[in-house]
Amino acid sequence: MLLTERFHSIQGEGKYIGIPMYFVRTNLCNLRCKWCDSTYTFSGGEEVSLDTLISDIKNISEDWVCFTGGEPMLQRESIQFMKECTLMGKNVLLETGGSLSVEKVVQIVGTYIDMDIKTPSSGEQDSLYKENLKLLRENDYVKFVISDERDYIYALSFIKQWESKAEILLQPAWGTDLKWLVEKVLDDRLNVRVLPQLHKIIWGTKRGV
């Protein structure tokens, strides 16, 4: 598997925010979001065997593994890695851009999905593999990164038609006013959660946190 980094941290965004996790960050991504904070994953990386990675996971104290990227679903051993982690009793949070099928992931007990629905400011709003919306479970969630009014209106149109079991999160893009987004949600009486990127509030924008 092609990796950028491995590190201990907390889940800094999304439904499981604040939980200590061991992060496995992969290289390669098929999208080029304009506000991406992990552009260093687009190339390079270190080839790590699945056996080595699983041995690494056996020695961590965290109950959760965050499998992120880049786009981790591009890795040829991604499904096997998640299966091996869950067989050890670990919970796996998969962070995915939503452009690739998660059909095999939802069949693995102990996996949880954080799936982006890309907004216009990303430049990748047409990338969503829409069949994923039918596959998501109650413990999964979708995330809209909101930079401006246009993004908010885009998310709102999705929310009004929402039929999935998954929870909806709105996350202000780094540098976007959190108060503005919260007040929009309250004014429109939306049944969603608004959460910031906790790891950036704590440590800033440096890597490995």
Domains of the chain (ranges; CATH) run: 2-203 (3.20.20.70)
Rounded to whole angstroms, the Cα distance separating 174 from 200 reads 8
Q: What is the pLDDT of residues 162-208, one digit of tens each?
A: 988 899 999 999 999 999 999 999 999 999 999 998 888 888 888 88
Q: What is the pLDDT of residues 5-40, one digit of tens each?
A: 999 999 998 899 999 999 999 999 999 999 998 999
Q: What is the mean pLDDT of residues 80-91?
A: 98
What confidence score (pLDDT) does residue 208 get? 80
What is the pTM (predicted TM-score) of this model? 0.95
**Residue 159 pLDDT more than 90?**
yes
pLDDT, mean over the chain: 95
Q: How confident is the model at residue 73 (pLDDT cuts 50, 70, 90)?
A: very high
